[in-house]
Structure 1
Amino acid sequence: MKNNKQTIIDLVNAAHGNAVAKGWWTEERTLPELVALIHSEASEALEDLRNGYEPTDVWYERKDALTGQIKTMALQPFDDWKPCGIPSELADIVIRVFDLVGRYKLTEGFSSNLDNYFVKDTDRVISSEDSLSINMGWLHSVISFILLGKSVAQDAAHVVYCTYKIAEFNGIELDAAIVEKMAYNTTRPIRHGGKKL
């Protein structure tokens, strides 16, 4: 994904298209709400780390339709089992950014800015010398700039770039996690979350 502008555009369109199809946009969402939800994905990744999971640990969960209990599997047996773990949460960050970018029709500026970040491949925020927990803290500050900065497209691209760098520094195949999570999201029912936001 990193160096392919058309792939970025396709992923933005797919993520936003799925969110629309699943009923997420039947009511209007504000930019602060969307940014808060991106923060929540970063917090879930940090929570997995605090719970003792390694950065590359992946497992799959499914709610039993009869009992309501969550079943967990180490290997994915079916397409409708939810991927879990830090890779999946990092993928969710990127997918939520893609949806935001698609909703606000920022795809061109976002993809150009993202390409620039990967070409320069330098960042003063995320460091290979810092721990995952420190880098996740810095990622929260980068996410906030979507609201506080001058360009939503540029700041959204910075979030995705930093998420990729965190994945790279921790041996996570983020492209694969994004593809897997987006495929799972297409299996979910309409208005599946049942939450207010």
Structure 2
Amino acid sequence: MGQITELVQEAHKTAVAHGWWEKEPEFGTLIALCHSELSESLEEYRDGRQPYQLYHEKNGRPEGIPVELADVVIRIFDMCGHYGIDLEGAILDKMRYNQWRDYKHGGKLI
């Protein structure tokens, strides 16, 4: 078992233990929650923080763009744990595929 797979299991176990799966959220709601974490990352940037900047609230809670990005990944890990998705396998498969794609495939500007 790889490290990503272990993190997926740990994230889902923690979410279950803290009550987030007592009533299963709709798939769209789970995706929206991932979007919200990305939006929080953007808000940190809009507030003048740099992408690498990590800081802590007075209560010790970590904040900043790195933390919001971590929250996105943790939510994705939790979803994958619930649905039984082999995220590590999917990442490795997609990264191998991307190595052979054409330069700026699709021809789009961004």
- TM-score if structure 1 supplies the norm length? 0.48
Deviation at 1:119, TM superposition (A): 3.7
- Give the aligned partner of residue 17 of structure 2: 21
Match of 2:63 among 54, 67, 84: 84
AA at the equivalent of 2:69 = L
Query: d(CA) in 1 for partners of 2:53 and 2:98?
Result: 26
SS in 2 for 1:37: helix
Residue equivalent to 1:184: none
Q: 1:120 Cα shift?
A: 4.7
Q: What count of residue pairs does the alignment treat as equivalent?
A: 104
Aligned pairs for 1:118-129 within 5 A: 118-120=95-97, 122=99
CA–CA distance in structure 1, aligned partners of residues 2 and 63 of structure 2:
28
SS in 2 for 1:93: helix
How far has the Cα of 1:83 moved from its partner?
A: 1.0
Task: Among all aligned residue pairs of Structure 1 and Structure 2, give the percentage whose two residues are the same amino acid.
Answer: 41
The residue type equivalent to 2:22 in the other structure is T
1:59 aligns with 2:55: yes
In structure 1, what is the Cα distance between the partners aligned to 2:90 and 2:84?
14
* Higher RCO (Cα < 8 Å, 6 or more apart): 2
Shift of 1:118: 3.4
For residues 29-72 of structure 1, the C-alpha deviation after alignment (integer angstroms, 9 at most, x for no partner) is 110000000000000001101110011111112xxxxxxxxx37
Which residues in structure 2 correspond to 1:3-42 (within 5 Å)?
6-42=2-38
Structure 2: gaps spanning 5 or more residues? none
1:48 to 29, 41, 44: 44
The code of the aligned residue for 1:24 comes to W
Query: Which ranges in structure 1 are unaligned for 5 or more consecutive residues?
Result: 62-70, 73-80, 126-137, 139-197
Note the aligned Cα RMSD (angstroms). 2.3
Give 2:82's aligned residue: 103
Which residue of 2 is the match for residue 192 of structure 1? none
The residue that corresponds to 2:93 in the other structure is 116
Using structure 2 for the length normalisation, give the TM-score: 0.83
For structure 1, which segment, 5-14 or 116-125, has the greater mean C-alpha deviation from structure 2 after superposition?
Answer: 116-125
Q: Matches of 1:118 and 1:53 in 2, distance apart?
A: 30
Cα deviation 1:119-154 (Å, max 9, x = unaligned): 4555859xxxxxxxxxxxx8xxxxxxxxxxxxxxxx
